Amino acid sequence: MRNYNLTDFDAVLAISRRGSFRAAALDLGMSTSALSNAIAKLEGQLGVRLFNRTTRSVSLTDAGRRFVDQVTPALTDIHQALDTVRSQQETPSGTLRINTFATAGREIIAPLVIEYLRRFPQVHIDIVTEGKLVDIVAAGFDFGVRSENLVPTDMIAIPLGPSRRYAVVATPSYFEDRDRPRVPSDLLAHACIRTRLPYGAMFRWQFEAEGQPVQVDVDGPITLDEASLARIAVLESVGIGFFMESDVRDDIEAGRLVRILEQWTPPLSPLCLYYPSRRNPPAAFKVFVDLARELARSSRQH
Q: Going from the N-terminus, what domains does the chain have, and what CATH number goes with each?
A: 6-86 (1.10.10.10), 94-163+269-301 (3.40.190.10), 166-264 (3.40.190.290)
Tell which residue, 187, 149, 156, 145, has the closest CA to residue 170. Answer: 187
What pLDDT, on a 0 to 100 scale, did the predictor assign at position 86?
Answer: 65
What pLDDT, on a 0 to 100 scale, did the predictor assign at position 245?
Answer: 94
Written as tens digits, the pLDDT of the chain (302 aa) is: 467 788 888 889 889 888 888 888 887 878 888 898 999 999 888 889 999 887 778 889 999 999 999 988 888 888 777 777 766 767 888 899 999 988 889 889 989 999 999 999 999 999 998 878 889 988 889 999 999 989 999 999 999 877 789 999 999 999 999 999 999 999 999 999 999 987 788 999 999 987 889 999 999 999 998 889 999 999 999 999 999 998 999 999 999 999 999 999 988 888 999 999 988 888 899 999 999 999 888 776 65
What pLDDT, on a 0 to 100 scale, did the predictor assign at position 302?
Answer: 55
Confirm if 147 and 101 have CB atoms less than 8 A apart: no
* Distance between CA atoms of residues 124 and 80, nearest Å: 20
Distances (CA, A) of 263 to 17, 172, 242: 45, 19, 14
What pLDDT, on a 0 to 100 scale, did the predictor assign at position 274?
Answer: 96
pLDDT tens string 54-104 = 777 888 999 999 999 998 888 888 877 777 776 676 788 889 999 998 888
What pLDDT, on a 0 to 100 scale, did the predictor assign at position 1?
Answer: 47
What pLDDT, on a 0 to 100 scale, did the predictor assign at position 151?
Answer: 93
* Distance between CA atoms of residues 122 and 116, nearest Å: 10
* Distance between CA atoms of residues 64 and 61, nearest Å: 5
Residue 274 dihedral angles phi and psi, to the nearest 5°: -135, 155
